[in-house]
Amino acid sequence: MPRKPPAFPALVMGLGGPIAVEVVDKLTDEDGGHCWGIWHPPQRKVRIEKHPSRDHMWATLYHELTHAALDDSGLANLLTEPQQEAICDAFATARMRERFG
């Protein structure tokens, strides 16, 4: 039976140290387009837009934390943006399945 998502965290530990998590009403990317989440490396912060679904917020958080892990490990330097997005989506999907069934 699927488990209910826990309360959303304000801070998580990443490979390179703590990562602040901020939930916001509306989020746009660098080009002004709508996005569900974004990783800010200089501030070590992930921003997640509020969604009607808590599951969607968790999947977005896992996606953005994978970006953080790729940056912290140096692997992001070896990957194109489409490759990074595919890896982040794959890890987010795997984490959702492992955590919530």
Q: At 90, which helix (H) or strand (E)? A: helix 81-100
pLDDT for 1 equals 56
Listed in sequence order, the DSSP H helices in 40-80 are: 54-73
The string of pLDDT tens digits covering residues 49-99 is: 998 788 899 999 999 999 999 999 999 999 999 999 999 999 999 999 998
Q: For the chain, list the domains and their CATH numbers.
A: 11-100 (1.10.10.2910)
What pLDDT score was predicted for residue 4?
A: 67
Distance separating the N- and C-terminal Cα atoms of the chain: 7
**What pTM does this model have?**
0.91
The confidence score (pLDDT) of residue 54 equals 87
Residues 17-40 pLDDT 10s: 999 999 999 999 889 999 999 999
pLDDT at 5: 65
